[in-house]
Structures are given as structure tokens and as C-alpha cells.
Amino acid sequence: MRSDQRNSLFTGPMIRQALIESVKKLNPLIMMKNPVMFVVEVGTFLTLLMILFPKFFGVEGTVGYIVIVFLTLLLTILFANFAEALAEGRGKAQADTLKKTKADTIAKRLTSSGKIEEVSSVDLRKGDIVLVETGDTIPGDGEIIEGLASIDESAITGESAPVIKEAGGDFNSVTGGTKVVSDWIKVRITVDPGESFLDKMISLVEGASRQKTPNEIALNTLLITLTLIFVLVCVTLLPITKYVGVKLEIATLIALLVCLIPTTIGGLLSAIGIAGMDRVTRFNVLAMSGKAVEAAGDINTMILDKTGTITFGNRMAAQFIPVGDHTEDEACQAAMLSSIQDETPEGRSIIELAKEQGCTLDEQKYKKAEIIPFAAETRMSGMDFEGVSYRKGAIDSVMQFVKEKGGVIPTNLKEKGEQIASLGGTPLAICIQNEIIGLIYLKDTVKPGMKERFAELRKMGIKTIMCTGDNPLTAKTIANEAGVDDFVAECKPEDKIRVIREEQIQGKLVAMTGDGTNDAPALAQADVGLAMNSGTMAAKEAANMVDLDSDPTKIIEVVSIGKQLLMTRGALTTFSVANDIAKYFAILPAMFSVAIPEMQTLNFMHLSSPTSAILSALIFNAVIIPLLIPLAMKGIAYKPMPAVKLLQRNLLIYGVGGVIAPFIGIKLIDIVLQVFGL
């Protein structure tokens, strides 16, 4: 979704719908899913019965007081329901936008004989091959098997600039609902109806498939336990008070119970979880589960690719350096010859730099040359023409190639290669037949601000490890410039898995980013795997998060959002429990001061009357929920710092604040009730 859509999520219609939903959620079958608030609803129902049948309950003289208790309890439930409904409403608003994208489109399916038949996109099945031409909407998730096209993905990512997708490589996956702007592609459908990327996204943002996380389940168990304890306390209070001669109204006992149980966090817990998922989604990251978001908050180690993540990734030719007895012009000419028809960014940059330096070449002369594309096995590319081999590639690979042809290695090759590597560049050796002519200095640049971002992660207690295919010297230079904690040079896919497992064996949670099929095993092994939307389907299926903007550095923000979710839940729980202290000092003296005058000394707030004290505490208990809804939705601002300092800070703000705020709030409500003669 675009930023303007994100900022307008709290709309009038959404608030009205949330109000309606908060009433619908009064259904006991729905309320039972939240045991804390279900207890409040039972208490509300009992007070309603007292109002309707006062003689039966023997409360004829205090019906007015019970009516106020009933209305306050009802508002408490409605406020809690409203918080959850509002959080769900934000997700549904995003889902509605996505559903407009997921329209039934006509697909051009290719039959086994090669003919085109037009079918509805809902009739497509996994394995079907479709033709998508200029102006067509891609009918389903799949992988390009033939062709190249410019694709508008703004319906999914919010970005208006089209992206180039082509068959082969790591950028061949397409998403249903996106549109081909130019050219054509053949797509093999990889999912059945209802299982597409967009279907999963709609389901997740609606909250239909949201499962409670382990942290949330544990907290919910704690809240239920506390509720059961206070129910037992209040039930046993009735015979005890009768024994000591204190007449205790059932409505007062219900008010005490509601104030004692953790209603604040009980009412906001679900909303916090939904809002956390929503924050990730609005950040254009699709989390496959709430567990993934929470795991991001507990990350200890982050594995990052160098190219495209820490650096811009577009290595460009910066200089031609001759070796041995050769000149710079000879190195320039050899580099140009080895890069004919090399359409990679590096290859094009070599040709451009050579032309800038005055090197010329009759490209028509080499049209019939045998082009040797780059291969991971050889780590070289170039051409063969009229029995002469022209190559460029990794220094060790070119050295081996030259030795096999009986050539001699220049004595200054290694020294000059190390000089380039020490500057953070990548040296490519150039050879003609069995003679090394020179080096190409390829330069990649560290993205601005990366050092500061890694410093923030360090403050969070997160270790950063850079993985790169570069040689150790180049890797070390880039690692120092970027400010990462460690690096793995000449890294292969299996090395990433090894690093992840080594960290996990030490009890650490690991996050990593990736986009290629060869990244899939490592993404699956990591506790938090963030796949790029531009990457392969295998990578997206292996990961538990997908970045729709395909920005590898976004893993840093995802970690911050995860920590923010955990902090928000912890802080509001602390605040809720701390609230109860003030309520004890308000209600308990009011309940027992008549029979036990000494209890009046606990009335620090000097509340005007026992009735006012009970109502003030109960009303505060209700109004604090809507006051905290914005905080639950937005989340607590996260500042990078060690866990111990973070805990101390939150205990000071939300623990001490949770104790002080109710004293002030209850006293103010008491003053207002005095004005109205209650």
C-alpha cells in the first residue's frame, strides 16, 4: 500500500464499523476466547439481573448505584472490543484494497499443442503455462520460463516504477494481479486457486489466519491464572465479611473483582498482536505468522549479503591496471575484447570506461566470435575468436587458465590485486591466450548510513555477519568500512547454512535475507528469513517473511518492529499490573472502613465516600482502556539499547507511571462524582 493510504487508516467509516463490531463481539461465544473479559461480561450480566430483579437479590435501595456499576462494566467490555475491532478494521481495510487487485482475469493458457485458449484465472492449476503480453494482467503466481518483460507491481508494492523480469536467474518470479507494461513472457503457474501469494496476504492482513504466538499464549495463561486467583479471593470474601459483620453488596464485590483482575492488558492484548502484524504489513513486509514477527524481536545474530544489501551492488569498472611489461592502453584493449557482448552491468561498465579512455573496437568484426558467458564453476567470461581466447575473471581462475596454456604469471599480479582489494574493490584479471595483460578495478560502494545502522544493531545486542563471495582482503575492507562485526569471505550457499547453525547451536536466534533459489535452504534454516519479492518462488516459500519492496536492508527495520511489539506488550502488561496497586487503596478501605475504622488510614487519596471510591476505581478501570488504544496500535517507540537498560527504562516509565497515574485519575473522577452528588 502507498504511504498516503497507510496514513489514512483511521477513517470515519472504519471507526463506525469498529463501534458496530464491538457490540457484535458481546456474543458470549466470542467473548469466551478472551477469558479475562468474559469474566467481566459475566459480572455485567449479574448486575443487569440485579437491576431487573432487585427484590430477588435484595438490593432495592441501591439500584441507582448498581445501574452505574452495570454501565461502567458494559463500557469496559465495549472499550476492549472496540480496541480489537479497530485493529482488525485496519487489516480489513488493507485486505479490501488487495481484493480489488485480485480480480478474476482472463488468462491465455497454452495447450500441449501450443495453441492459446482463453480461460478464467480461477480455472488455472499448478503447472499450467500462460502467455502474458503487453497490457495483460498476470493471472496467477508463477515463474517466467521464456521471455522478458517490464512489469508494473504497484498494486502489490505501491511502487510506480516498473521492474524488469526475465526467464532464468533469481528474478523470474511474478505475482498474480501485477501487470505487464511491455514485451511478453510465458509463465508457469506455481500455485492452485486460493493458495496464491495475494490470497495469503489477504488472509493474513484480515487476521483470519492469525494465530497467537508463544509469547502471547504464555501471557494469556498468566492472565487467566491471575483471574482465577482473584475470583477465588472474591468468592471467599463474601462469607468472611459476613462473619466479621460487614455487609458487602454483590455489585461491590463484582466491582472489586473487575478492578483486581488484569482487565487493561486483557482488553488490549489481542489488539496489540493484531496491530503488530499490521505495522509489519504496512511496512510492505508480509509476515507468514505472528511468531515470525516476535522472533524478529528476539534476534541475536543477523546474516547479511554484501552485494545489494550493504553495498549498492552495481560493481562498475573504475580503472584498468596493466601488469608485467604491458601498458594501460593494452590493458584497456584486452578488457574491451573480453567484454564484447557481455550484457551484465559490470561488462557494460567496462566497455563504457574503455570508450571514455579512447579505446576503439570494430564490434562488427567479432560478430561471429564464440561468446563464453560467466559461469560459477569457471568464474570467468570472455570470447574465443580465430583460435585466440580472451578472458576476464577472478585472479586465481585466470591464473589457472593461463598456466594450463603454458603461460607465465607476472610477478606484480598478486601485489596489484591486493592493492585493489585493500581499497574495497574487486580485481578482475584480463588475459589474451596464455598471457595476463592487466587487471580491471571493479568498485562497489557501501550504502550511506550503513555504519550508523550497524552501530544501532550493536546497541540492541545484535551481532552482524556479512557474507560475500569476495576474497578475504576485499571482504575485510568492506566489513571495516560498513562496520559489521564479522564476515565470511568466498561464501557459498552451504557456508551460510553452516554459519546459521553455528550461531543457533550457541542458543542464538538468527535472521537473514535472500532472493535466490540457492538462498532457500539458509532462509528455511534461519529463525527469521526475509525473502525478496523480486526473487525466486523457492526463496519466498522457504522464508517466513517476504519484502514486497525487495529491499534487503529492511531486515533491520523488521527487527525493530519485532522488538517494538514485544516492548509494547510488556510495557502495557507492566502498566496494567501496576494499576492495581492504586485500586487496592481505593476499594479496600471503602469496603471495610465501616466495620474496621482503622482501614481508613489506607485511604491516602481521601476519597469522599465508600461509594464514590468504588465507582471512581471502576470508572478509571474502564476509561484507561480507550486511552491506551493509540499506544497499543502505534506501539512504543523503540530506542536501541542493551536489554537491561531497556527493562529498567520501561519499569520506570510504565511501572512507576502505572502506579502513579491511577492515584491521580481516581482522585479526579472522585471530585467529578462529588460535583454530581454521587
* Alpha carbons 168 and 170: distance in angstroms, whole number: 7
What is residue 314's predicted lDDT score, i.e. its pLDDT?
67
Q: Kindly state whether residue 161 falls inside one of the protein's structural domains.
A: yes
* Most confident stretch, 179-183, 205-209, 318-322: 318-322
Question: Looking at beta carbons, which pairs linking 29-36 to residues 24 or more positions away fall under 8 Å?
Answer: 31/77, 34/80, 34/266, 34/267, 34/269, 34/270, 35/220, 35/223, 35/224, 35/227, 35/266, 36/223, 36/224, 36/227, 36/261, 36/262, 36/263, 36/266, 36/267
What percent of the chain stands above pLDDT 70? 87
Any bridge partners for residue 446, and if so which? 311
Q: Kindly state whether residue 425 falls inside one of the protein's structural domains.
A: yes
Helix axes 554-592, 263-282, angle to 10 degrees: 170
Helix axes 290-297, 214-243, angle to 10 degrees: 90
> Based on the domain organization, do 622 and 515 belong to the same domain?
no
Given pLDDT bands bounded at 50, 70 and 90, which one contains residue 95? low
Residue 298 near residue 509 (C-beta atoms within 8 A): yes
> Based on the domain organization, do 413 and 429 belong to the same domain?
yes
> Of 362-366, 588-592, 628-632, which range is least confident?
588-592
Catalytic residue among 136, 141, 305, 580, which? Answer: 305
Average pLDDT estimate for 502-509: 90
Residue 284 near residue 548 (C-beta atoms within 8 A): yes
Average pLDDT estimate for 176-195: 84
DSSP helix/strand/coil, 293: helix
User: CATH number for the domain including 132?
Assistant: 2.70.150.10
* Alpha carbons 522 and 530: distance in angstroms, whole number: 11
Q: Tens digits of per-residue pLDDT, 346-358?
A: 888 899 899 999 8
What is residue 60's predicted lDDT score, i.e. its pLDDT?
66
Q: Tens digits of per-residue pLDDT, 384-396?
A: 998 899 999 989 9
> Based on the domain organization, do 402 and 385 belong to the same domain?
yes
Choice between 96 and 402, residue whose per-residue pLDDT is larger = 402
Enumerate the known binding-site residues for Mg(2+): 515, 519
Q: Tens digits of per-residue pLDDT, 188-244?
A: 998 887 777 667 666 655 554 455 667 778 888 888 998 999 889 888 887 877 776
Cα Rg, the chain, nearest whole Å? 33
Alpha helix (H) residue ranges in 383-482: 395-404, 413-422, 450-460, 472-482
> Based on the domain organization, do 462 and 521 belong to the same domain?
yes
Q: Kindly state whether residue 482 falls inside one of the protein's structural domains.
A: yes
pLDDT for residue 559 is more than 90: no
> Based on the domain organization, do 211 and 84 belong to the same domain?
yes
> Of 168-177, 271-280, 593-602, 634-643, which range is least confident?
593-602
- Residue 412 CA, distance from chain mean position: 49
What is residue 541's predicted lDDT score, i.e. its pLDDT?
79
* Alpha carbons 23 and 19: distance in angstroms, whole number: 7
How many CB atoms are closer than 10 A to CB 659? 16
> Based on the domain organization, do 418 and 324 belong to the same domain?
yes
Mode of pairing for the β-strands spanning 179-189 and 129-132: antiparallel
> Of 152-166, 201-215, 453-467, 650-664, which range is least confident?
201-215
> Based on the domain organization, do 24 and 77 belong to the same domain?
yes
> Based on the domain organization, do 188 and 137 belong to the same domain?
yes
Residue 550 near residue 533 (C-beta atoms within 8 A): yes
User: CATH number for the domain including 365?
Assistant: 3.40.1110.10
> Based on the domain organization, do 536 and 570 belong to the same domain?
no
Helix H or strand E encompassing 486: strand 486-488
Any bridge partners for residue 438, and if so which? 322, 430
What is residue 98's predicted lDDT score, i.e. its pLDDT?
60
Beta strands in 254-405 (DSSP E): 285-287, 301-305, 316-322, 370-372, 380-385, 388-394
Enumerate the known binding-site residues for ATP: 342, 346, 374-381, 392
Instruction: Report the chain's mean pLDDT, rounded to a whole number.
Output: 82
Q: Tens digits of per-residue pLDDT, 99-119?
A: 665 556 788 999 888 888 988
What is residue 96's predicted lDDT score, i.e. its pLDDT?
65
What is residue 593's predicted lDDT score, i.e. its pLDDT?
66
> Based on the domain organization, do 253 and 304 belong to the same domain?
no
For 15, 84, 225, 403, 462, the CA distances from 261, given in Å and listed in that order, are: 28, 19, 10, 80, 37
Residue that finishes a domain, picked among 443, 468, 496:
443
329 included as an active-site residue: no
* Alpha carbons 381 and 342: distance in angstroms, whole number: 8
**How many domains are there within the chain?**
4
Domain of 165, in residue numbers: 124-192
> Based on the domain organization, do 419 and 357 belong to the same domain?
yes
User: CATH number for the domain including 504?
Assistant: 3.40.50.1000
Q: Kindly state whether residue 29 falls inside one of the protein's structural domains.
A: yes
> Based on the domain organization, do 345 and 476 belong to the same domain?
no
Q: Kindly state whether residue 614 falls inside one of the protein's structural domains.
A: yes
Residue that finishes a domain, picked among 395, 412, 443:
443
Residue that finishes a domain, picked among 192, 221, 241:
192
What pTM value is reported for the model? 0.66
| Selection from 88, 101, 91, 219 nearest residue 153 by Cα | 101
Choice between 260 and 553, residue whose per-residue pLDDT is larger = 260
* Alpha carbons 205 and 222: distance in angstroms, whole number: 27
What is residue 213's predicted lDDT score, i.e. its pLDDT?
67
Whether the CA torsion 671, 675, 676, 678 is positive or negative: it is: positive
Enumerate the known binding-site residues: 342, 346, 374-381, 392, 515, 519
Q: Kindly state whether residue 567 falls inside one of the protein's structural domains.
A: yes
